[in-house]
Every structure is written in structure tokens, then in C-alpha cells.
Amino acid sequence: MNKASNVELYKEATAYSPGGVHTSIRNVDPHLIFTKAEGAYMEDVEGNRFIDYQAAFGPFILGHNYPYVNNKVTETIARTDLFGVGTTDIEIELAKKICQHVPSSEQVLFCNSGSEATYHAIRLARAVTEKRKLIKFQGCYHGWHDYVARNMLSDWDKIGKRDPGSNGMLNEAVDNTLVCTFNDLQHVEETLIENNDEVAAIIVEPIPHNIGCILPEDGFLSGLKELCSKYGALLIFDEVITGFRHDIGGFQKIAGITPDLTTLGKAMANGYPMAAIAGKREYMSRFNTNPGGDVWFAGTYNGHAVGTAASLATIEMLENEPVHDHIFRLGDRMRKGIKEIHEVLGIDAFVAGFGSVWTTYFMNFRPKNYSDLQHNDGELYVRYRKKLIEKGIFKMPMNMKRNHISFSHTDREIDVTLEAMEDVLRELF
């Protein structure tokens, strides 16, 4: 009996689910049906094996199906699962670890996705400040809800203009979210002045990884903190991507900037569903999980044993093994190798990255914000990635998407990847 093909199964998927996928951004060409993943590799239904740098948009800091994490989850759910009342010993243990490692975390609450975490952070900021408006940055992604789902991957003619991400969004939510330019403190202060005493919070990816890897310039993040203090707003670091992947204390620990609130997720649980909001005790105590709190916080699956155990196991690995040393070294090696290939082939491109994350922009200067990425050759960016998939190297075949290295990747995978990259670039150029 012949195995089903990717094409056949994708067609079947579309019969039962709109578009055949369960998150919009997953619907890309080629349509692959994955059946297996282990370490640095994943496999499709046809038996094609890929070195994975997509990492499900970043959760897999240790690698797919990492034995230590899976074993801890299995051990935990053999004795506990979900109660819907009170708390558990492992929730207490995990909360203690996050407060120990993340500078802004005096208290923490668990939820299930980054979108939930940012939703709660914004609601809390509005309650604390008694203001309604929010500042986000063009190109940054903070989840699917109406508060922040605007001006993400905008068409170039909509940069900084009103660009809701979906039909059905409330106009009031869209218009109370203000859009600024990343790395431009002057623009942020002008916006705060124009909206005199109405801005509750500034929410920012400390490194905008939604658009690849745009690093904050010296003084930008500290400048945001100063502006928040000056104009009575809270500073929210959305570290759903950067938290744990760049440091066990998040990018805030590296930058030496402590925000008022922080959202966490992805690498926190190495692929299991888990997220958190953390922050100053005086603010977190406003949630109604605390008797007398006036800010609603709820979720049936919050603190479920699966995600909690996975998070504990992942953090234990980060505490006890040279995870960051390994992935940072391989990240440096990857970026250096790509640059050398570009030099040999005479390709004018910019290799961006930090730690275990990188991407190649096909443009001849370092981008500072989303507007600069108009100069990236998006068509070439996607074509390059599709050709790499044909060679067994999986990077998301979408424009401006980052790549990730895990603890399961080795020098061998980097060697194979660099060789494939050189072959593809020789073909394209």
C-alpha cells in the first residue's frame, strides 16, 4: 500500500478545516504534512527529513521531543493533571524559579499562550494608570487580539498608517493603539505628547523578531523606560520570543533594563503550551487571583501540569547545562559562515542575528526598523528558502522570518546547512 503524499493529505485537510491548517501563518508553500520530530530534525509524511531552523517560531530551545523534558512531563502527569481549584506544588516551584531569574518578576501568573499574556498585561496597565491608549511599534507582533493586531507585516504603503490586521476588529481598540517607529525615541515622545496623559503603556519586543532580527540601538530601551516614567505609562517587554532563548533572565537581563511588566512563553516550555505574565508586586496584586484584586484573570487550563512540568524541566536544563553557550556559539558560527559565503560569491546582503537567532536580509545595510526592510528583496528571500527546503534545510518560506538553533543542533548540522546555502546561492546568483 502506497503512503499518502503531502499533496493528498493537504487536500484532505482542507476538506475538514479552512485552509487545512490551524494557525494562519502555517499556510505556506510547500504544503508539508509533518509526522515526526526529534532533536534538530523533523520529517514529513513522505519520509523527507529536514534540519529544522523554524523551531515552531522559537519554542524549541532544547530540540524536538527532548528526552529530559518529555520524561519530566510523563512523570508529572502520572500523578497530577488539572484541579480547577487551589494550586499545585509544581506551580509554586515554577513561579519561584521565574521570580528568581527574570529581573522584573516579583510575582508571576501562568496562562497558555503569548496572546493571552499580552492581553492581560495591557488590561492591567490600563487599570493601574487609569488610561486607555497603548503604544506599539510598526512590525512588532504581540498576539491576535484587537488591542495589538494592527501594523504588523504591513504593506509598504501602510507603514505607520491605520492598518488593522483583521476584519471584525473593534474600531475603538484599533484607534486606541498608537503606532511608533522602532529605534526612534523622538517619535515615541512626540506621540506621548500628542496624546497628552492618555497612554497607559508602551509594549515592545526588545528585539523585534517578528520581522527577523532588528536590534535595539544603544539607549533605545532605556529611553523607553525614561519616557514611561516621565509620562506616567507602564513599560511592557514582550519577551515571548526573547525570554529564555537569549538568557534565562530574558533579554532584559542582558540589556540591564527592568520593565514594569513582562510577558513570557515559547522557549519557556520547549514546545509545550505555556505562557506567563510577570511584573512588580504592586501591579500584579491588582489581579483578582489576589483577594480584593480588581483586574480579572482567569483560564481553565492555566498552570496545567503538562506546561508547568515542561517549563520546570526546560529551566532546569538552562540552569544546569551549557545551553546558551552552545547555541550562541553555533549562532556565531552560522552567521560567520554565511558572511564568508557572501564574500566569496560577491553577494551584497546583511546577516542579522543575536545569540541562536539569525536571518539574511537581501539588502546592503543594517536595518533599524520596519521601514528599512522595504529594501530587502522579499521575492529572493522566499525563493532562497524554498530551494533550501528542497535540500533538506527547513527555514520558514516567508519573508522576514527568523531562524533558530537549538541545543540539539551540532557543528555537523551547521556544516551541512552552510554547504547547502552555498549551493543554493551559487544557483540563484
Query: pLDDT > 70: what percent of the chain?
Result: 100
Give tens-digit pLDDT for 230-243. 999 999 999 999 99
What is the per-residue pLDDT for 4?
87
Give tens-digit pLDDT for 338-348. 999 999 999 99
Give tens-digit pLDDT for 184-199. 999 999 999 999 999 9
What is the per-residue pLDDT for 294?
98
**Secondary structure of the chain: what % helix, strand, coil (to 5)?**
40, 15, 40
φ, ψ for residue 328 (rounded to 5)?
Answer: -70, -40
Catalytic residue among 133, 266, 395, 401: 266
Is the pLDDT reported for residue 391 higher than 60?
yes
What is the per-residue pLDDT for 88?
97
Residue 401 a catalytic site member: no
Is the pLDDT reported for residue 362 higher than 90?
yes
Give tens-digit pLDDT for 150-185. 999 999 999 999 999 999 999 999 999 999 999 999
N- to C-terminal Cα separation, the chain: 42
SS3 401: coil
State the pLDDT confidence band at 403, using cuts at 50, 70 and 90: very high
What is the per-residue pLDDT for 40?
98
Averaged pLDDT score across all residues of the chain = 97
User: Please, what's the b/e burial string for 184-199 (b: 16 or more CB within 10 A of its CB; e: otherwise)?
Assistant: bbebbbebbeebeebb
- Contacts of residue 280, defined as CB under 8 A and 6 or more positions apart, other chains included, come to 104, 106, 107, 260, 261
Is the pLDDT reported for residue 364 higher than 90?
yes
Catalytic residue among 10, 66, 119, 141: 141
d(CA 65, CA 60): 9
What is the per-residue pLDDT for 2?
54
Is the pLDDT reported for residue 386 higher than 80?
yes
What is the per-residue pLDDT for 1?
39
Residue 238 a catalytic site member: yes
Is the pLDDT reported for residue 82 higher than 90?
yes
Catalytic residue among 44, 52, 146, 238: 238
Cis peptide before 103 (omega within 30 of 0): no
What is the per-residue pLDDT for 185?
98
Give tens-digit pLDDT for 92-148. 999 999 999 999 999 999 999 999 999 999 999 999 999 999 999 999 999 999 999
Single-letter amino acid, residue 240: V
16: left (phi over 0), alpha (psi -120 to 50) or beta: alpha
